[in-house]
Structures are given as structure tokens and as C-alpha cells.
Amino acid sequence: MKNTNPTSTEAWKALADHYKTAKNFNLKEAFQNNPDRAKELTIHEGGFYVDLSKNLILKETQHKLVALANECDLTEAIESYFNGEKINATENRAVLHTALRTDQTHSKVGENAKAAIASKEKMFAFVDAVNNGQITAANGKKFDTVVNIGIGGSDLGPVMIYEAMQAYKNELTLHFISNVEGDHVEEVLKKIHPETTLFVIVSKSFGTQETLTNSTTIRNWFTNKVNAAAVAKHFIAVSSNVQRAVDFGIDQKNIFPMFDWVGGRFSLWSTVGMSVALGIGSKNFQGLLDGAQEMDTHFKNTSFDKNIPVQLALLTIWYNNFFEAQSEAVIPYTQYLHRFPAYLQQAIMESNGKSADRNGNRVNYETGNIVWGEPGTNSQHAFFQLLHQGTKLIPAHFIAFAKAKYNHPDHHNKLMANFFAQTEALMNGKTKKEAKEDLTNSGKSSTEIEKLVPFKVFEGNKPTTTILIDELTPQSLGKLVAMYEHKIFVEGVIWNIYSYDQWGVELGKVLADAILNDIEHSKYDGHDSSTKALLQKFYSLNN
Ligand code: F6P
């Protein structure tokens, strides 16, 4: 990959110039001036209808953004990504989660793809055997519960998928324990029967404090409730550090390896998806992989002007670097995706929250977008006030599925009416004249109208992207997740940063160890006065 400072490109200069007029762009007028605007700025791709037209762009903006992608050698970068070159240079690793969903073993990543297929087959064989009762609990009964113990990428992807796939789940109930919080562990243990529970310890490194602490506590609890001999049948592990998992006491045949070329936050497609695969069955898990592969193919083979991840990434760059937007909202209009924004927070912010460029220099432009969100319509009754009338520019993705899973047309029509109404309202706003008319119609006096009108005006012109998908299925969910993965990649390429390391998070792990040692030895010195007082307060309340 070339290490180009994007701000030094001709395309960036052209965009900066274009921004001088584009910053006054008016969405409502743009629709009035061009009846084909929606058609021109919508991408259809196998069940995905991605409408970019309510964004602060013209076709000309799109061309200039694509020119930026070209000048930053995006085509070459995509090849390096899919061909398994070590684009995660600071960790000297390839970034090949795409190999986990390929069926092309003859491709350039042949050996890796073969390894991925073999590990998937081992996982599926285990999943099928648990689901059909061939592999049972120590007492011979069928497992009825799975507890996933893992954190970060070893939790957020699996829990998000499991919640999204509730309509596809089998009789197994899943619980997720991630935080190193004894209280949470207790609350989960209260709900489960150890004799019929399978514990899946997921840790790429098998060295993460949270996961090891939780696993040790749970193993001790299990041993007390059942017996030590049953641990071998009830605890399995997913890790790239097989030896550490063996040392922890996991039976070697119950360790499902993962690969160093799969980053934690992109690992849900690998054996990290074990708990999900158990909960939805191997056929549905394969559906997720197939959907992701469809998006991989679209991303690799489609020209940038019609390429969904590329277009979404370029919009982020347009808002982040030219309009100086600080954050983006993702609003899924389905409760099934209630963990999707949290999942995206790790995927996006752990990847692109970087300030050193690929040459090792401090960047002289903004990188990394803050992402947040909650399902609609709940969020309409919460933070939408700020979207509509606040002072900040917050581009938002609105995601919905045209068909509901169950037959409640009254509900679904209302849900979707809100979905469509919000993007329209964010764009149109409400003028002073319209606000006055509303107040007059509601019978207010002219004095009251004058007083209230400033508070009833909506500026409008708030940009949104509508992602309307035919139906929530394993395939469409896999495709949606892969869409965001590739969006992250494109942004990282253009921002000239390394998207696949996470040194900031690694630092946090070490810092906690030092303070833990002080807590355990009641030592307060060597800290600033604030931290020292907090430690003393903590100690006095616990002793
Ligand atoms: O949160 C930081 C991180 O390094 C993530 O990248 C990873 O997903 C998580 O920790 C968990 O790490 P592990 O799977 O090795 O326990």
C-alpha cells in the first residue's frame, strides 16, 4: 500500500475548493432542482437499497471523492487486503477475515482459505453434534445453555449476531459474560443449571485479564456444583494460543484454533462465532458467511461510484474532514439490531482511532469517526431532539428491513412510517412560516405565536443515508456487517493509518495491572493526589 498523505493530493485540494460552495448546499432545493436525484444517488445491490441522496453532496462531489480514492491507490490497497499481504504492518500480519467466508481455495489466499475451511468444518461438526444430542453434558443430558466468556471482539460480534438472529435461534439459550465484574458473573450463574451448560471461553490470546478471571471463577463454581471430572465435557475454548488453553485445563480436542491473520474485532466469522453457531445452527451460520461473501464480491468488483462500502466511506471523509462533523449516528429500525451500534463502536473506533500515519508521522488532519446509536423508534424519544434542533452536524445511517419477521402489519407499518418520516423531516426541517401556520392552526394567539415560533423552527438540511434491506436473514446480516468492515478499510486507506492494530487498548491492559498490585497490597504512594484519595476511599469502604 502506498503511504500518501491525503491532504497532499490534487483531489483533496479540489475537494477543499469544492467545499467552499458545497458548505451552503441545500438538500431540499437539490431535490426540487433535480427530479432524478434519488435515482442517481441510490445503489441497488442484491436485497440492499442504499439511498445516498439525502446527503450533502452533488454528483460532482461524488466524482471528486472518487478521485481522492483513486489518488490514494484504493484499487491497489483492496488487492493487497484480499490477497493477504501484511497490511497490518505494525503487528506484521495479514488481514484476512475475508478468507473465512471464501469458498475459493484456489485463490491467492489458498492455504489460508483451506485452513479456514478446515477449522470451520471442525466447528460445524461440534455444533451439529451438540445440537443433535451426540455430544452431551457429563450426565448424558442434552445441553440447553451456552455461556460465552470473552471480551472485545470475542464478545461484541457474537452477542450482536445472537441478538439479531433471535428469529433463527434453536432451543439453546445463550448468555454472554464479558466484563470482569463479579456481580455480573453472579447474575448469570443464577440463571443457569451447571449440569446442562456448555461454557465457551473465547480469547484469541488466552491472556486477557477479564476472560481469564471470569473463566477461573466459573470453573471453580462449576467444580463445586458438579465435579472436576466434568470440566472436560463442559468447557471448550477458542484461541490462537492453544498451549495456554491446554494449561488452563481445556481438553485439547475441545480447543478450536483461530488464526493470527484474523483481528479480534473482525473475528465473528471464525471459530469466535462458536457460541452463535451453537445457538443458530451451522446452516444459519453458513448463511452469515455467504452474505458476507456477497458483500466481499461486490466490494472487490464494483466501480467506486456504485460501490456501497466505498461510497459510505467517502461520505464519512467528506463530513469528517470538510464539514468537521465529529460523530455519526447509526439508527437501526429494529430491536434485533439493538447491539449493532455497540459492535460498530469497537469495529470502527478501535480501527480508525489513530493519530500516527503509515509513515509514523502525526497526522495533520482528522481521522476516526465517533459512532453511536440506538434502535428507532426508541431513539426518537431520546436523543433525536439534538439531531433535529441541536447545533451539531451528525450524519446518520438509518437501517431498516422492509419485511418483518412476524405478521403484525399494524406495528410494521408504524415502525416504517417513523423510519421514512424521520429522514424526510431531518432534511426538510420546518421554516418560520410553516411553524407560524402550525401555531395558528392550533388556535394560538398572535402574541403566543411570536413567543413560541423560535422554538418551533427546525433548520433541516441534516444529512442521512437510508439503508433499506429486503429482510433480516443470516445472509443479509452477514452482508451488512461486511459492508461496514469494508467501509472501515477504505477510510483507513485514505486517512493513511493502520486500521488493524490497537495499541491504545493494549496500554489500558497494562495500566490496570499496576494499580491492581497497589490495591492488593494497600499501597497508595506513587500516584497523584486524586488517584491516591480514590484508592484510600475504595479501601476504607471495603475493609
Ligand atoms: O479490546 C482489545 C482487544 O485486544 C481486542 O482487539 C480483542 O478483541 C479483545 O481485546 C479481546 O482479546 P482476546 O480475544 O485475546 O481475549
Q: What is the DSSP letter of 193?
A: -
How much distance in Å is there from the Cα of 505 to the middle of ligand 1? 8
Q: How many domains does the chain have?
A: 3
Task: Give the pairing type, strands 255-257 and 42-45.
Answer: unpaired
Q: Is the pLDDT reported for residue 148 higher than 90?
A: yes
- Is 88 a member of any domain? no
Closest residue to atom 13 of ligand 1, CA basis: 203
- Is 152 a member of any domain? yes
Give the ligand 1 atom nearest the CA of 505.
2
- In the structure grid, which three cell numbers stand for residue 10, read together? 490534487
Note if 350 is an active site residue.
Answer: yes
Q: What is the pLDDT of residue 107?
A: 79
CATH number at residue 381: 3.40.50.10490
Tally of CA atoms within 13 A in the half-sphere of 26 that contains its CB: 7
- Is 291 a member of any domain? no
Closest residue to atom 1 of ligand 1, CA basis: 152
Q: What is the pLDDT of residue 508?
A: 79
Q: Do the beta carbons of residue 169 and residue 162 sit within 8 Å? A: yes
Q: What is the DSSP letter of 390?
A: S
In a shared domain, residues 107 and 174: yes
Q: Who wins on pLDDT, 210 or 1?
A: 210
Mean pLDDT of the chain: 96
How much distance in Å is there from the Cα of 205 to the middle of ligand 1? 8
- In the structure grid, which three cell numbers stand for residue 342, read together? 455497540
Q: What is the pLDDT of residue 422?
A: 98
What is the mean pLDDT of the segment spanning 241-262?
Answer: 94
Q: Is the pLDDT reported for residue 509 higher than 80?
A: no
Task: Give the pairing type, strands 235-239 and 197-202.
Answer: parallel
Give the ligand 1 atom nearest the CA of 155.
8
Q: Is the pLDDT reported for residue 2 higher than 80?
A: yes
Closest residue to atom 3 of ligand 1, CA basis: 152
Q: Last residue of a domain, which of 259, 285, 311?
A: 285
- Catalytic-role residue among 350, 374, 485, 491: 350
Q: How confident is the model at residue 296 (pLDDT cuts 50, 70, 90)?
A: very high
- Is 456 a member of any domain? no
Note if 509 is an active site residue.
Answer: yes
How much distance in Å is there from the Cα of 3 to the middle of ligand 1? 27
The length of the chain in residues reads 543
Q: Is the pLDDT reported for residue 108 higher than 90?
A: no
Q: What is the DSSP letter of 363?
A: P
- Is 180 a member of any domain? yes
Q: How do residues 46-102 score in pLDDT, each as one tens digit? A: 999 999 999 999 999 999 999 999 999 999 999 999 999 999 999 999 999 999 998
How much distance in Å is there from the Cα of 463 to the middle of ligand 1? 34
Q: What is the pLDDT of residue 109?
A: 87
Rg (the chain; Cα; Å): 25
In a shared domain, residues 168 and 264: yes
What is the mean pLDDT of the segment spanning 217-223?
Answer: 98
What is the mean pLDDT of the segment spanning 225-229?
Answer: 97
- Is 293 a member of any domain? no
Q: What is the pLDDT of residue 103?
A: 81
| 69: nearest Cα among 141, 14, 26, 147 | 14
In a shared domain, residues 151 and 207: yes
Peptide bond into 105 cis (omega under 30): no
In a shared domain, residues 421 and 356: yes
Q: Tell me, yes or no, if the pTM score tops 0.75.
A: yes
Q: Which residues sit with their C-beta closer than 6 Å to ligand 1?
A: 151-154, 203-205, 208, 211, 264-265, 502, 505
Q: What is the dihedral of CA 241, 246, 251, 257, to 10 degrees?
A: 10
Q: Last residue of a domain, which of 258, 285, 312?
A: 285
Q: What is the pLDDT of residue 524?
A: 84
In a shared domain, residues 329 and 420: yes
Longest CA–CA span in the chain (Å) reads 82
| Residue from 502, 503, 507 to probe ligand 1 pocket by mutation (most atoms less than 8 Å from CB) | 502
Give the ligand 1 atom nearest the CA of 202.
14
Residues in contact with 126: Cβ distance below 8 Å, sequence separation at least 6, in sequence order? 135, 236, 256, 274
> Partners of 238 in the beta sheet?
202, 256
Cell 443449571, residue located: 193
SS3 of residue 112 by DSSP: helix
In a shared domain, residues 167 and 265: yes
In a shared domain, residues 59 and 144: no
Q: How do residues 356-402 score in pLDDT, each as one tens digit? A: 999 999 999 999 999 999 999 999 999 999 999 999 999 999 999 99
Q: How do residues 269-284 score in pLDDT, each as one tens digit? A: 999 999 999 999 999 9
**Helix runs in 335-400, H state only:** 340-344, 351-352, 384-389
Q: What is the pLDDT of residue 272?
A: 97
Closest residue to atom 8 of ligand 1, CA basis: 153
In a shared domain, residues 263 and 154: yes
In a shared domain, residues 490 and 508: no
Give the ligand 1 atom nearest the CA of 267.
8
Q: How confident is the model at residue 531 (pLDDT cuts 50, 70, 90)?
A: very high
What is the mean pLDDT of the segment spanning 331-348?
Answer: 98
Note if 111 is an active site residue.
Answer: no
Q: Do the beta carbons of residue 497 and residue 367 sit within 8 Å? A: yes
In a shared domain, residues 140 and 26: no
Q: How confident is the model at residue 1 (pLDDT cuts 50, 70, 90)?
A: confident
Q: Who wins on pLDDT, 34 or 523?
A: 34
Q: What is the pLDDT of residue 110?
A: 86
Q: What is the pLDDT of residue 146?
A: 98
Q: Which domain range does residue 514 map to?
A: 504-542
Q: How confident is the model at residue 510 (pLDDT cuts 50, 70, 90)?
A: confident
- Catalytic-role residue among 20, 106, 190, 381: 381
| Residue from 93, 205, 238 to probe ligand 1 pocket by mutation (most atoms less than 8 Å from CB) | 205
Q: Do the beta carbons of residue 480 and residue 473 sit within 8 Å? A: no
- Is 115 a member of any domain? yes
What is the mean pLDDT of the segment spanning 299-325?
Answer: 98
> Partners of 235 in the beta sheet?
199
Q: How do residues 255-272 score in pLDDT, each as one tens digit? A: 999 999 999 999 999 999
How much distance in Å is there from the Cα of 153 to the middle of ligand 1? 6
> Partners of 202 in the beta sheet?
238
- In the structure grid, which three cell numbers stand for residue 69, read together? 480514492
Q: How do residues 171-195 score in pLDDT, each as one tens digit? A: 999 999 999 999 999 999 999 999 9
Closest residue to atom 9 of ligand 1, CA basis: 152
Q: What is the pLDDT of residue 35?
A: 97
- Is 138 a member of any domain? yes
Give the ligand 1 atom nearest the CA of 210.
16
| Residue from 149, 154, 242 to probe ligand 1 pocket by mutation (most atoms less than 8 Å from CB) | 154
Q: What is the pLDDT of residue 106?
A: 76
How much distance in Å is there from the Cα of 223 to the middle of ligand 1? 27
How much distance in Å is there from the Cα of 327 to the middle of ligand 1? 24
| 475: nearest Cα among 263, 257, 215, 296 | 296
Q: What is the pLDDT of residue 32?
A: 97
Cell 443470516, residue located: 474
Q: What is the pLDDT of residue 178?
A: 98
| 361: nearest Cα among 211, 168, 526, 498 | 498
Q: What is the pLDDT of residue 277?
A: 98
Cell 466484563, residue located: 179
How much distance in Å is there from the Cα of 211 to the middle of ligand 1? 10
**CA distances (Å), origin 415, targets 376, 410, 419, 422:** 8, 9, 6, 11
Q: How do residues 454-500 score in pLDDT, each as one tens digit? A: 999 999 999 999 999 999 999 999 999 999 999 999 999 999 999 99
Q: How do residues 21-31 score in pLDDT, each as one tens digit? A: 999 999 999 99
Q: What is the pLDDT of residue 405?
A: 98
DSSP string of 462-510, one letter each residue: --EEEEEEEE--HHHHHHHHHHHHHHHHHHHHHHT--TT--HHHHHHHH
- Strand order of the β-sheet with 173-177 is 173-177, 145-149, 197-202, 235-239, 255-257
Determine the Cα–Cα distance for residues 380 and 236; give it in Å rounded to an integer. 42
